[in-house]
Amino acid sequence: MRNTTASSKGVSETRPRLLPPLKWAGGKRWLAPQIAKFYESYRSFRLVEPFVGGMGIALSLMPERALLNDINQHLINFYLQIKKGLKIDFPLENNSDTYYRYRKHFNDLIRQGKADSGEAAALFYYLNRTGFNGLCRFNKKGEFNVPFGRYKKINYQRNFDAYTEALSSWEFRHGDFEALPLAQDDFVYADPPYDVEFTSYSAGGFSWRDQVRLAEWLARHSGPVVASNLATPRILDLYGSLGFEVEVIKAPRRISSNGNRDDALEMLATKDVSFGEMPRKSRNTNTGHVLEVMLAHALERGGYKYTLKGSGASARRTFAEPIPSDKARHQFVLDAVAVCPKTKNRIGISAKWQETSGTAEEKVALETIRLLKLVERGDIDRAYLVMGGNGWTLRNYYLSQDFMEMFSSPAKDRVKPITLEDFVALANQARL
């Protein structure tokens, strides 16, 4: 059908709007309206996706020009064969016997050096639509090893002519993102494999070193950049330290290794993106952001009951208990109070975030004294001073025993300066 959506949606009014032909774990079609707002002012720019995946963003934006890349050679071969007019002429049956027979044949083609053929592309499509959860997983030998999916009904396609025209002006590449020939005015949207342990969507995987390499490569690009990833502490720190505007949004968790499909937290990082008449958000790296995005959710996973400073949705989902404050100065000493599920001890949490500059570390000594006082008078049983961000010059000293030895308080063993990453790890395991 023809798309008649207004141009404010950031989608062409004359090009056909198509759904992704593949099921794709981690697909970002749900994020397309947000990306469209970023892309709206750059529709004359070529869209570049280093990790095209299921092509959900490109098919939503429908750019006139695109450079779409992925390390997964079978995925790119499928798109290239679609561009040539792929048609499937073998039976498409939703049963395990057919699935495992076709999977073996697909892997035989890989071993025979025929992975770039039309037959391999057709088999790849069938395996993707029929396999478990739309996963694309390969073993160390480069063989497809996703099990049968057991869907009740699958709507297969045999003819992909509807995509041929749409993809005609798009270039597809297979390889590492750093090999892409970027132009100065390319609009880059990067959605790499999530920063999690499971990254075997291709034979090589995607390590933390690759995450850093990607972020630095994106930071060097002279044109507009949008990047998304799982909002882990180190990912937020990485992109924030490289000068990106960083925000965190809720994302649907459609596939999870432990069966948890609750909303996840997604980082959205932008660089050199102008919104025209729209007000641009400033980087959201204040203490409240750190608490909501990282600390509070870590406490929930660890089974803690907690109260946050302030009001709104975060306060409504907590139990009602006042947080100690410095009444003389009318300031909150703590950002959160948590009750341990094991010991029932009351834990005070004060969070400080510092990126490239600021006064957070200048306040650490005073904050530590205030925490010590709260522990001494029994308002809380222990306290954590949590430090996030990459802009600290004295963090190693604050984390050392030498710093705490400065204080004569008998409560100093129960007040602990700690990094955001270490706090999250302890909270997740109910070890605070």
Compute mean pLDDT per 10 residues along the chain, 432 residues long, and list them: 37 65 89 93 95 96 96 97 96 97 98 97 98 90 94 95 92 96 95 72 72 96 94 85 84 52 76 61 50 76 82 43 58 83 92 76 88 92 90 89 91 94 88 91
pLDDT score at 62: 95
Delimit the CATH 3.40.1350 region(s) of the chain: 287-428
Delimit the CATH 3.40.50.150 region(s) of the chain: 7-86+160-271
Q: Which CATH class is domain 287-428?
A: alpha beta
Question: Cα(367)–Cα(361) distance, rounded to whole angstroms?
Answer: 10
pLDDT score at 366: 86
Backbone Cα Rg of the chain: 25
pLDDT score at 270: 94
Question: Cα(215)–Cα(212) distance, rounded to whole angstroms?
Answer: 5
Select from 286, 265, 291 the least CA-distant residue to 384: 291
- Find the helix packing angle between 73-84 and 118-130, rounded to 10°: 110
β partners of residue 187: 47
Q: In what order do the strands lie in the sheet with 264-271?
A: 170-174, 66-70, 47-49, 187-190, 225-230, 264-271, 245-251
pLDDT score at 282: 40
By CB atoms closer than 10 A (0-12, 13-18, 19+), residue 203 is middle
Q: Which CATH class is domain 7-86+160-271?
A: alpha beta
By CB atoms closer than 10 A (0-12, 13-18, 19+), residue 264 is middle
On whether the pTM is more than 0.75, the answer is no
Amino acid at 79: Y
From residue 30, give the alpha-carbon distance in Å to each of 249, 256, 330.
12, 17, 43
